[in-house]
Structure 1
Amino acid sequence: MEQAVPSSSLEQSPLQQVQARIAQAARIAGRKAEDVTLVAVSKTKPAEAILALIAQGQRVFGENRVQEAQAKWPDIRTAHPEVALHLVGQLQSNKAEDAIALFDCIHSVDRPSLVTALGKAQDRLGRKVPCFVQVNIGAEDQKGGCAVADLPALLEQARSAGIEVIGLMCVPPADIESAPFFALLDKLADDSGLPCLSMGMSGDFEVAVQLGATHIRVGSALFGER
């Protein structure tokens, strides 16, 4: 027998449903929902879908690629200067200056060459952008992120380059329980004196919130499957 779905949840928009799930996860962990920043990942989505979420009150968005963001965000930001834009995908060193010019936060600093490029770009543009260092938390060859063992040296280099590192980011291995990886990232951030954790996506953001995420990167739960 199918379980009845509460009518209240049927009346909620996807954004409201995600917000309610964040609030519930935060309550379980003894946290405040407002301490969790929802980054709406709008990669491949048209301006119309983004504007619909802005109209509902969403104020932080994430894009995976500099080129795609350059194509669709200038007009949106002109109309909505209050909206923040985060880069949540991999960044090529030769796009560092474009990224510093366009984004308000970068989640994917992961190697010495990129640190050098970002530091130089900040100096040239006179603009500081807070960053997360991405950790390859599952030691997967195909994923970006610095190795756990290399984290202290990369953090030191970033700070020396004048980059404001605010936290750590990770993408756990797919199809296995993400909680141990989130717990490890939390410990690494704590050991490094970093206050922020960018972790959790549509499939596991509630676990991430319970384990200390300050930024969650949610796409399909807000926009639908790609």
Structure 2
Amino acid sequence: MRLVLLGAPGAGKGTQAKLLAEKFRVPHISTGDMFRAAASADTPIGREAQTFMQAGALVPDNVVVGLVKERLVQEDAKNGFLLDGFPRTVIQANALEEMLRASGQKLDSVVNIDVSEQELIARLSSRRTCRKCGAIYNLIFETQKPKKEGVCDRCGGELYQRSDERPDVIGERLRVYTTNTAPLVDYYRRKGLLKQVVASNSMTPKDVFAAVLTALGA
């Protein structure tokens, strides 16, 4: 299974990607995680990506495409993968298609998780991340709150609000998404690959996962 997961920042792509990767036994490839890891390691590509991510802007196509191309040729991705955070532009989508065609592969489906802008802003501004292990919590969902305020349930690390999840940056991230990434929905719809899933804050991650599986016919 070769899947792409689309959705605005805060739509819950990361959670659904992990569930889908387990279901279909394919690697979850998150460009955001890859860039944050590179930034933590203080690599040149990590420093370059961090500059754009902290401002809520998209990392340049050539940087992202190069990173994904290196990842998709690894052994664990040869029989399938789930892409989360890529492609984000039509240019990147074309590059992905060329990458796959070169190895005799093609996408099976593209899932778009659709959440209203008001709910996205509420979700993003309520997220907290562990400085130590990277675990993510959300203060508006009872099942995703930490047991102790400001402390990670898993490792006891400090929880903080990422710089790109501050209210002043969220608006810019959503604007960038609407301008650059939303056209991908039409792009993949025209190709007959799009599966649309409407989600809301009243739905649990399991509810959304069930809706995604139904859309995929799985």
Question: Quick check: TM above 0.5?
Answer: no
Q: Which has the higher contact order (CA 8 A, sep 6+)?
A: 2
Larger radius of gyration: 1
Task: Give TM-score, length-normalised by structure 1.
Answer: 0.33
